[in-house]
């Protein structure tokens, strides 16, 4: 959960305990999950990976290609598609990008990050996926000034994103 931190509201320490089993790199498990979903060598899962510049990450293209290699090793058919950020933003806002992934980065705080990158409630969002189980508590969080309630709502939204595997955290580059 890119926009959550142990020092911010909404953090769930259980995420750290479950991280290896939920997000760890396991090619055999990935192949089994794809097979369970009906994909395999005769019918590979296909996905488009957009290669575009990422602010503050000069090696973004190389990292994108490495990710595609990991997915191919698990049996996915990955199409690498170079794209400029303006086109990607326009296609995302108009909901014309389907079944795609891309490398992103943010230095934003929890509210800006979750509402921009993780919420599907706004047609103008710049990225993310709509998860109704997360959108409802996120809307509640913005509707209250009670910090304990905000913490609870943000944790509920974070649990939905975490359990739904909305983001794949690859690395954290702290500033300074």
| pLDDT, position 77 | 97
pLDDT band at 41 (very low <50, low <70, confident <90, very high): very high
What would the pLDDT profile of 139-171 be if each residue is shown by its tens digit?
888 889 999 999 999 999 899 988 988 777 766
pLDDT above 90 covers a percentage of the chain that reads 40
Q: What is the pTM of this model?
A: 0.68
Q: Yes or no: say if 1 and 161 are a contact pair by the CB < 8 Å rule.
A: yes
Question: What is the strand order of the sheet 100-102 is part of?
Answer: 77-82, 46-51, 100-102
Q: Is 153 exposed, middle or buried (0-12, 13-18, 19+ CB in 10 A)?
A: buried
pLDDT at 17 over 60: yes
What would the pLDDT profile of 99-145 be if each residue is shown by its tens digit?
888 887 666 656 555 555 555 444 334 455 667 888 888 888 888 99
| Three-class secondary structure of residue 132 per DSSP | helix
Count CB neighbours of 101 within 10 A: 16
Q: How far is CA 23 from CA 1, 5, 15, 61, 171, in A?
A: 11, 17, 10, 22, 12
pLDDT above 70 covers a percentage of the chain that reads 80
pLDDT band at 83 (very low <50, low <70, confident <90, very high): very high
| pLDDT, position 72 | 96
Q: Yes or no: say if 121 and 151 are a contact pair by the CB < 8 Å rule.
A: no
The arithmetic mean of pLDDT across residues 46-71, rounded, is: 88
Phi, psi of 27 (to 5 degrees): -60, -40
Mean pLDDT of the chain: 83
**Using CA atoms, how far apart are residues 92 and 20, in angstroms rounded to an integer?**
31
pLDDT band at 40 (very low <50, low <70, confident <90, very high): very high
The arithmetic mean of pLDDT across residues 67-89, rounded, is: 93
| pLDDT, position 123 | 39
């Amino acid at each position: 959960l890119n926009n959550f931190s142990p020092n911010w509201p909404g953090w769930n320490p259980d995420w750290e305990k479950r991280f290896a089993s939920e997000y760890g790199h396991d090619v055999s498990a990935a192949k089994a999950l794809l097979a369970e979903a009906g994909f395999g060598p005769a019918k590979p899962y296909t996905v488009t990976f957009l290669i575009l510049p990422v602010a503050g990450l000069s090696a973004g293209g190389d990292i994108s290609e490495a990710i595609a290699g990991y997915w191919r090793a698990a049996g996915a058919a990955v199409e690498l598609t170079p794209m400029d950020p303006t086109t990607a933003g326009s296609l995302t806002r108009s909901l014309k990008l389907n079944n795609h992934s891309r490398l992103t980065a943010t230095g934003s705080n929890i509210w800006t990050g979750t509402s921009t990158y993780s919420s599907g409630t706004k047609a103008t969002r710049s990225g993310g996926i709509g998860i109704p189980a997360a959108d409802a508590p996120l809307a509640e969080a913005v509707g209250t000034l009670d910090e304990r309630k905000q913490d609870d709502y943000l944790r509920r939204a974070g649990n939905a994103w975490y359990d739904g595997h909305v983001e794949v955290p690859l690395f954290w580059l702290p500033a300074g």
